[in-house]
Structures are given as structure tokens and as C-alpha cells.
Amino acid sequence: MKLITRDTDYAIRAMCVIAKRKDKVVSVKDLTDYLKVPRPFLRKILQILNKRGLLKSYKGIGGGFTIALSPKKISLVKLIEVFQGPIRLSEHKLKKKICPEAKICLLKKRLDNIEKYVKARLEAITLETLIEEAGRI
Amino acid sequence: MKLITRDTDYAIRAMCVIAKRKDKVVSVKDLTDYLKVPRPFLRKILQILNKRGLLKSYKGIGGGFTIALSPKKISLVKLIEVFQGPIRLSEHKLKKKICPEAKICLLKKRLDNIEKYVKARLEAITLETLIEEAGRI
DNA sequence: CATAATGATACTAATATGGTATCATTTAAA
DNA sequence: TTTAAATGATACCATATTAGTATCATTATG
Ligand code: FES
Ligand code: FES
């Protein structure tokens, strides 16, 4: 029932570091040294973030990644959806078909409400808020 | 990221039916006829609910299950925890060890808040509320 | 041209999920 | 007292998801 899987988690940590370094190019080596996260796995993750347009990448010696968007614009919802697909707390289906009772199902209605709330909260958590407040500690 | 897995879902549906039938003994056959859910799987699920004291079981011909507690007292949290363990939306650990930064980690703090809310909402959804409101439709 | 970086892609291991299958035990009723 | 209809206990199996590795190609810099 995890809201956040490992890859998303690592992505958040890495993005925070990269965002803090502003326009400096950060390599995977820099990141793994700091984050103690498996290198090939992190590489894969950063490549995905690059493809999705959240990072810019630079090849060759001295290469690495910079952040592609303002940290304000990168929310947890966005990062979660990159690695875990659309946020859906409740499918509440029967055997992969849409349940005929879906429209009147009370349980589904209530879970959908919870989902809306969670999504809104995750939307409000951006890289900026994570970095900014961390700086104050 | 599902809040509710298949077994929990089936358990909820089955418990609602059993609760509605009050003190009548409901067999797995009755339930599968009505719910269209795989029989051996549902059997396993009901056995677990029985062990956990949420159902009472009766063996032999004419046997089956009745509800053991007032539907008021059976919340979604309880049912989820039976099949999925304690509700923890965010572990946010590093390599199975507790993260040294856990106490000051902002992300964790925020996810924990979301978790508290979700848990409270799931606590408020009981079999009684599901049955009662369904009756009004 | 050597080297240090990423890009692309395929493979693998571990865990969780969603079940089946089998046999033992109990009990009501014929 | 036998039989059939139910659950109890357990072991097994199939699939999907998660969490990675491994390899080779490509690119940029000095
Ligand atoms: S959506 Fe089908 S029973 Fe809830
Ligand atoms: S709990 Fe370790 S970084 Fe958040």
C-alpha cells in the first residue's frame, strides 16, 4: 500500500540535490556518493526523468544532469506518476471489468474522496517546498 | 499504490452480506452465488476473518458464517490490516534500515500527515455505514 | 584518441498478489 | 449409523510488480 516506491523515492532525493545545485551539472557519481543509492538503478531513474523532460542531460566528460523545470513546478504527483503511473487508490473492479455497480457503489465513492484529498496534498508538495524548508533546519 | 487489495475487497463485500443477514448462517456457496467471486479464494479469506474473531463459523451441513461483532465496530482499517498489515503509506527507509535522517526528514513528515488523515477516514468507514446507506438507495 | 560521462536495452532476482488443490474434521439429517 | 454438506488447515502455483544488474553504444572534452 506504499504511496511511494523505491524508484520514486530515489528520484525525489536526487531531484532535490540536483535542484539545489542550480545550473551546475551533477553526475551520477556525485549523487551516489552523497545518497548511497545503487548506481545503475539511479542511472536508470535519471534517464527516465530526462526523457520525461524533468532533467536535462549532458554527455561526455564533466557531463551529468541539471534540472529542466523550476522546482516550483515539480510536484510529488508528477514524480509519482512518472514511475508508478496515474494515482489511483481504488480501482474496486471485479475481474478486470468495470464493475456494473460502480456508479452507485458507496465504497468506491468514499475511496474516491480519499484519493482526491491525497492527490491534492501530493500536488502541494513540490521540490521547492522540500528544499526551501530543509534549508531552514 | 492500491489502498485495498483483492482479498480485502472481497472480505468487505462478503462481510457486508453476512452482516445484513444478521444471525442467519451464510455459507460460502451463498456468497459466491451472489458475489461472483472465486470460491476457494473466498473460503481462505473467510477462514482468516474467523481466526481473527471477526466472523463466527459453523461446520457441518447447514454451516457457514455469522458476524462476530457489531458492524459498527468493524472499520475498513481493521479489515485492511487483517489482509495487508498495518497501514503505512510511507516507510521512506534506506535499504531496510531506518533512515538516520528520519526524525528531521520533511518528506517523511508530510507523508505521515497524509497517512494520518487517510487512516482516520478509513476508521470512519464501518460495515454499518456501508450497509445502512446502501439500504437507502 | 583516451576517457569519462550518459543512452539504450535486455536481463535477473526477490517479493507480493491472486489464486488452486487436497485432505482432514465436524455436524445435521436420512 | 452412515452420508453429505459444510468449514479447517496447509501446501502449492501462476502472475505481476518491484528492485535491481549488466552490457554495449554514443557523445563530448581535454
Ligand atoms: S465498484 Fe463494484 S462494488 Fe464497488
Ligand atoms: S526518512 Fe530518510 S530521507 Fe526521509
Listed as ranges, the nucleotides of chain D within 7 A of a protein C-beta are: 4-11, 18-23, 26-30
Q: How far from the centroid of its chain's Cα atoms is residue B26's Cα? A: 18
Give the domains, in start order, of chain B with CATH numbers.
Answer: 6-136 (1.10.10.10)
- CA of B25, closest CA in chain A: separation in Å? 24
**pLDDT tens digits for A36-83?**
999 999 999 999 999 999 999 999 999 999 999 999 999 999 999 999
Query: By percentage, how much of chain B surpasses pLDDT 70?
Result: 91
Q: Output the CA–CA distances (angstroms, integers) from residue A1 to A76, A130, A134, in the order listed.
A: 17, 23, 27
Asked if B114 lies within 8 A of A121 by C-beta distance, the reply is yes
Q: Read off the pTM.
A: 0.93
- In chain B, what residues touch A84 (CB-CB under 8 Å)? 1
Range in A83-97, B14-28, B86-100 with the lowest mean pLDDT = B86-100
Asked if A114 lies within 8 A of B110 by C-beta distance, the reply is no
**pLDDT tens digits for B42-69?**
999 999 999 999 999 999 999 999 999 9
Report the C-alpha gap between B26 and B86 in whole angstroms: 29
